[in-house]
Every structure is written in C-alpha cells, then in structure tokens.
Chains A and B, each alone.
Chain A
Amino acid sequence: MSAETGTGRPVGPDLQVVEPVRMDPHVTAAEALAVFQRKLPGALAAVQAVHHPFWWAALDVRTRGLFRRSASGPGQRMDVLVNAVSGRGMIADFTPRGATAGSSEWSSLIGGQSGPLPTRDEAERTARSLARAKVVKTVKLGMGIEITPAGGLRGVLKPNWIVSGGNAKHEATILVDGLDGSHYIVRVDKVGQS
C-alpha cells in the first residue's frame, strides 16, 4: 500500500538514522477520498499512501524562578517534529509510535529531495527554539527555562495520503494529512487544460 518516493541520492552520514519510526495513519484511505470528494463533488480518485521524513526531538522542559539557579520539579516532556526536508518544526500533541522501518527507507526519502536539507544540528536548534518559544508564551516574564534533550534525534516517517483524480470539470491532486485529515491542494486544473 505504501508507495514511497525517492531516487536514492546518497545522503551523508549526518543525515542517516537507525531504525526510524514508521507511524500508522489515523485517517483511513476512505476518509482521505471523502476529503477529496468534498472539494470535488462526484470525483473519482486514486489514493496512495506516502510517508514524509521528520526529525523527532524529545525534550524535557523545566522552568525556574528569576533568582533560582536550577530548576526544580519534574518539568514537562515535549515532542517536537522537525520536517527533515523543509526544516520547519511543529510541537506534536502525541508521542510518535509505530513500527520500526529500515534505515534505507529513510535514506531513500531523504535522498529523493532536491536542494539543501537541514542538518541534524539545525533540526535540533529548531526544536529547542520552538519549545522555548512555546514555553515563553505561557510563563511569567523573567522566568528561566531549562531545556534538556531526552535522548538524541530520531527519525519519524509521518503518514499522509496523496489523492489524485477528477470530476467532469476539474482534475486535482491533494495531500491529506494521515494523522488529522487536514488537506493541502497540490494542483488543480480544469479538464482540457494542460
């Protein structure tokens, strides 16, 4: 079912991972098709499962008072996913779980991308600054924040659906998020238009 893409461009050792986690989709193929048909009523379409590589940083975040040197209390675990292609981060409201995939699958996905990819260090920095920004928004002014990584960066293959098809008027391809069912329109053309 899963049709991975990638040309297998060799990737440097810095970007390779051991045993990435391949997450299972929460949204079914039928639900992804329904999203497509809501945009294009009466459309016939093909659904294809794809995965997208993310760096996963688990961070322990603790706050401390303005005049205290060290943080106290257990703090909070934050799971941050950083897009291994675009470098954009997001704070996950879930802990990634799933089967272990082969490192060749990760390398194939990463190697298939053109253009510069974010390095591990950049991904780690993005994750930390995102976690910091999130906490700064909620804590009192002047409060100190301590962020410590709980283990190193791991690779995660996040599930999505690519749905392509059309009705009498339009042909389109959309990407449906495999976790929350939100969508992104990749292309839409009028029938008869190239």
Chain B
Amino acid sequence: MNIETWFLLIYFAAMAGIGVWTLKVGSKGSEGYLLGGRSLGAAVTALRLQSSSMSGYMFLGAGSLAYTKGYFSLWYAMGDIGGGVLNLSILGRRMRKLSQILGSLTSIEYLEHRYPSKWIRVIAAPVAVFCIFFYVMSQFIAGGRGLEMVTGIPYAWALLIAVGVIVFYTFLGGYLAVAYTDFVQAIIMLIGMLWILIACLQAVGGWTAGNEAVGQINPNLLTMWGPDGIESVQWGVIVGAVLVFSIGYMGWPHVNVSHMAMKRPSVARRASLYATGFNLLFIPAPYIVGIMALILLPTLDNPELAVFAVADTVLPDFAVGIVMAGIMAAIMSTADALLLQSGTIASQDLFQRFVKKDMSDQQSVWVSRFTVLVLAVIGYLVAVNDPPAVAEVVIFSTTVLGAAFVPVYIAAAWWKKANVPGAIASMILGTVSSVVWQLTGLVDVTGVDPMGIGIVCSTLALILVSLATQRSHPVPAHVLKAMKETDKIGAIPPSMLTGQNDSLAGQVPKDARDER
C-alpha cells in the first residue's frame, strides 16, 4: 500500500471518529440531529459553510476552467470569494433569528412558516431533493475517481469506499457530526491547496515567470476575456458566472441550514470575517494552479485532472497523500451536507408533514437516516453503472436551486410584502425558466446563462405577484411581528418563541404526566 493510501486511511478513520463522538451529543432529539442543537460558533459556521459549498468543484472544475480559459476563469472565482460573506451578511443573522421565532428546523420548513401554505413545501421539497440528489451523486463520482487515482483500486470499489465513509458519519451523528467534520475538512482543504500552489509557483520559477510563459502560449489567456480575446466575449455568460457562486449560493437549502444552527444570531458577523479570510486564501489557488498547469503539463488529456496532476508532479509522495486527503475532504464535506439535507427534507418536510404528523423525534431521526441510506444506494448504483459528467450535473443542479430559491430566501428575511402566491410563482418560474433555458439550448443562441435568466424570472415573479395579491393574500400578523422582531438586534423575547423547549420535559410534575 502506498503512502498516499495510508494518509487517506488515517483521514477516513479520523472523520469517522468525529462521527462516533458526536453520536452522543448529536442525536438526542431532532433539533440535535438536524441542527446540532443550534450550538455552532463562528469559526465552525463559516468554514462549514465554505467547505460544504466549495465541493469537489474547486479541485476538478476550477482547475479545468483555468486550464482551458486562463484568467477568464477568475469571473467564477470572484463570485466564489464574495459568496460566503454575501450569504452570511444578507441572510445569516436574520435567518437564524426568524427561524427560531417561527420554530423551524429545516430550511424548507422555514420557507413554509414564513410563507404559510402547504403548497410552499409541496413545491420546494421535491425541487430541492431532486437537485440535491444529482449534486450528491456527482460528489460520489468525484470521490470515487479521486480514490481510484490515488490507491489504484478499481473504480467500483473506490466509489463504494467513498460512499461508505460519507454515509457512515452522516448516519451516526447528524448535523453536528457533519458540521465538525466539515470544519476539520475546510482546514485540510486549505492546507492542501496552498501547498500545491506554493510548490507549483516554485516549479514554474515564480508567478511572473509563469505568467510570461503562459503569455507565450496565448496572450489572451492572461486577460479576463478568454482565449479568443474580447471580441468573442459573451457578457451574459460572464454575468451568469459571477451570479452562480455569489448570489446563487443563497438559494441552496443545504448551505442555508447552517445559518439556522448558529449559537446566536450575532455569530453571523464574526463568521463572515472567517469566511472571507478562508475564501481569500483558498479560492484563487486552484485557478492559478490550473493556469500554471499549462506550462507544467501542456499535453494533459483531461483538464479536470489539472490540479491532481500538478500535485502529483510537484509534490513529494507523502505530500500528495495529504493533498489528496484535502481533495477528498472537499468532496466528502459537500456530499455529507447534501445527504443530510435530503434526509432532513424527507423526514421533516415530506414524511412528518404529509404522512405521519405525530411522528416522534426518534422516528424522525430514523426516517432521515433511512433516506440517507436509500439515496446513497441509488446514487452508488447510478454512479457505478453509467456515471454522467460531473461538472455538467453540478452546474445544472446548482443553477436550478439558485434560480428557484434565491429570491424567496432573501425576501423571506427582508421584504415584509413577500407573500404566499408571490413565493409560489417565484419558485415555479425560477425552476421552469432555468430548466427550459438549459435543455432547449437557449444558452448558446442568446449567450445568456440559465442562472441569470432564472434569477430574473423568479425575482420579477415574486415582486409582481406579491404586490398584485396583497389584498387577497396578506402576510399574516404573526409573521409580520416576527419580521419586525428580526429587524432588531438582540435576544428573542421568550414569549415569541413558538417552538417548544424540550429541556422542560424533565420538569413536568408527576401528576401532570400521569394524566396522559
């Protein structure tokens, strides 16, 4: 067994250890399993948010974009860098406070409480589960491929191991396990990526020398306009590239759930500082490495492997093992957050809401776990038999999630006139427009990215329909009151909390219990 494999084994064991440790704290009730008991501090919140949204894309997609398009790829990086801080600043504090006042445990349930209608959940939950399933499958494939490359074991087995480890610790501890493993993984990702960057720049003789060499291949690669120069620029695609990872981010239910798990609403401010620091250090690195790969590996067959291949070329064997652990960390942290989110949506948003209303906390936890297992098995079977292209699946599902949910999440926290018909119209139009735009090939005809068109459609729908239906569907008084409270900084008055306090269970007098 090579040294890289040893590092991966140690890494897997450590992550599983965190899962076992959090089993005790994390699954005592559904608030614990689903939200870690709203106990996360700023550093964990921020790095968890970043590592779960970066995914294998940063190691596969970012390197590939940079390798093929040069500094044009930095449009995506710009969105990436600003995404975390935008999300935390715009949604963080308000979503944390409002979700607690409304007693919401999941990000879909939060939408339904803010826009009180069962149709919100009927529409949002399937869209979210559908997109998340595809996204998680792409992470499985990336994990399997990564493991196959490092260890040399066949893809089917590599995939099985990757899926097994991800499911194992998601299964054990719920959100707390995922949050803490994501935190650790964010740090490993950062160290791994910076290590590759430094070694890569040393190998090309420094950044300036590297840029000069890239300029000799094609001077356009050094500009922000792509390899064919400014004449061929599609401005709609550039706008979409910035939007996907900046504001698109705010529509991802699996990312937004971390706002709800913060210890206090005020954690958001410090978390956004951590997120910015992490982004500034981490995000440019894979793009720069991808560009420098043009010099180090000019004849690379598969650009998606640019970062892997550079690491293999410029780092010593033991370092490749650590860096591979970082790459697996990125993939796994996204996959586990997504899996947990799917389980949550299935148990809370679909099963408990529509099938068994009096489900106990323990049953809810088991429905989540069962869903995670079923999705993992289906994901494995699809990924092992006929794996689709990772990047396409990721971009498609991200685009649909962003287009469907960004306006409703932002308006939920900020706009008191956003009502049920507006939210329904926004989610439907956002989903349909982005899917149709993508599937009918309108992107190539118009040069406008589906994310851009989806966001515009869903935003307009939300504003116009909400304003038109203010009289027939006014926003309920308790929601308005909760939003007014959310405007204020400070603790929530206990009288406004609608969710029950489970810790009071141990204070029920015996005769009151006996009446049951």
Q: State the A residues within 8 Å of B (CB).
A: 5-6, 27, 31, 34-35, 38, 50, 52, 83, 85-86, 88, 90, 112-114, 137, 158, 160, 162, 164, 173, 175, 177, 180-187
* Interface contact A182-B501, CB-CB below 8 Å: yes
Q: Which of B497, B507, B508, B510 contacts A114 (CB 8 A)?
A: B510
Docked Cα-Cα span, A112 to B504, in Å, equals 18
Tell me if B511 is interfacial: C-beta within 8 Å of chain A: yes
Given contacts A34-B495, A35-B495, A187-B516, contact A175 B504 (CB under 8 A): yes
Given contacts A173-B515, A186-B516, A187-B516, contact A5 B504 (CB under 8 A): no
Q: Taking chain B's interface residues, is the majority helix, strand, or loop, or is none over half, making it mixed?
A: helix
Chain B residues near A86: list those with CB within 8 A.
506
Interface contacts beyond A5-B512, A186-B508, A186-B513: sample of 13 additional A-B pairs, CB < 8 Å, sorted by A = A5-B511, A6-B510, A31-B495, A35-B495, A52-B509, A137-B41, A160-B507, A173-B512, A177-B501, A177-B507, A184-B500, A184-B505, A186-B516
Docked Cα-Cα span, A115 to B354, in Å, equals 38
Docked Cα-Cα span, A50 to B497, in Å, equals 22
Chain A residues near B515: list those with CB within 8 A.
164, 173, 186-187
Q: Which of A27, A137, A182, A184 contacts B508 (CB 8 A)?
A: A184
Q: How many residues of B contact A (CB 8 A)?
A: 22
Interface members, chain B 466-516 (any A CB < 8 Å): 493-495, 497-498, 500-513, 515-516
* Interface contact B507-A158, CB-CB below 8 Å: yes
**Smallest distance from the beta carbon of A80 to chain B beta carbons, Å?**
14
Chain B residues near A83: list those with CB within 8 A.
506-507
* Interface contact A184-B504, CB-CB below 8 Å: yes
Docked Cα-Cα span, A185 to B495, in Å, equals 15
Chain A residues near B498: list those with CB within 8 A.
38
Chosen A-B contacts, 10 in total, with CB atoms closer than 8 Å, are A27-B494, A50-B509, A52-B507, A85-B506, A158-B507, A162-B512, A173-B515, A175-B507, A175-B512, A177-B494
* Interface contact B510-A113, CB-CB below 8 Å: yes
10 closest cross-chain pairs (CB), A and B: A86-B506, A182-B501, A184-B504, A181-B494, A180-B494, A52-B507, A5-B509, A187-B516, A181-B495, A5-B511
**Smallest distance from the beta carbon of A11 to chain B beta carbons, Å?**
14
Q: State the B residues within 8 Å of A (CB).
A: 41, 493-495, 497-498, 500-513, 515-516
Chain A residue nearest in CB terms to B510 = A112
Chain B residues near A177: list those with CB within 8 A.
494, 501, 504, 507
Chain A residues near B516: list those with CB within 8 A.
186-187
Q: Which of A5, A27, A31, A183 contacts B501 (CB 8 A)?
A: A183
Docked Cα-Cα span, A160 to B507, in Å, equals 8
User: Which residue among B502, B504, B507, B516 has the maximum number of chain A CB atoms within 10 Å of its CB?
Assistant: B507
Docked Cα-Cα span, A6 to B510, in Å, equals 8
* Interface contact A88-B504, CB-CB below 8 Å: no
**Smallest distance from the beta carbon of A169 to chain B beta carbons, Å?**
14
Docked Cα-Cα span, A42 to B504, in Å, equals 25
**Smallest distance from the beta carbon of B102 to chain A beta carbons, Å?**
13
Given contacts A34-B495, A173-B515, A187-B515, contact A162 B509 (CB under 8 A): yes
Docked Cα-Cα span, A175 to B510, in Å, equals 12
**Smallest distance from the beta carbon of B212 to chain A beta carbons, Å?**
45
Chain A residues near B500: list those with CB within 8 A.
182-185
* Interface contact A160-B504, CB-CB below 8 Å: yes
Docked Cα-Cα span, A164 to B513, in Å, equals 12
Chain B residue nearest in CB terms to A162 = B512
**Smallest distance from the beta carbon of B462 to chain A beta carbons, Å?**
29
Chain A residues near B511: list those with CB within 8 A.
5
Chain A residues near B493: list those with CB within 8 A.
181
Docked Cα-Cα span, A162 to B514, in Å, equals 13
**Smallest distance from the beta carbon of B12 to chain A beta carbons, Å?**
24
Docked Cα-Cα span, A6 to B505, in Å, equals 18
* Interface contact B512-A88, CB-CB below 8 Å: no
Docked Cα-Cα span, A136 to B494, in Å, equals 28
Docked Cα-Cα span, A185 to B513, in Å, equals 11
Given contacts A162-B512, A173-B512, A173-B515, contact A183 B506 (CB under 8 A): no
Chain A residues near B510: list those with CB within 8 A.
5-6, 112-114
Q: Which of B41, B494, B506 contacts A182 (CB 8 A)?
A: B494
User: Which residue among A5, A112, A175 has the maximum number of chain B CB atoms within 10 Å of its CB?
Assistant: A175
**Smallest distance from the beta carbon of A110 to chain B beta carbons, Å?**
11
**Smallest distance from the beta carbon of A28 to chain B beta carbons, Å?**
11
Docked Cα-Cα span, A34 to B498, in Å, equals 12
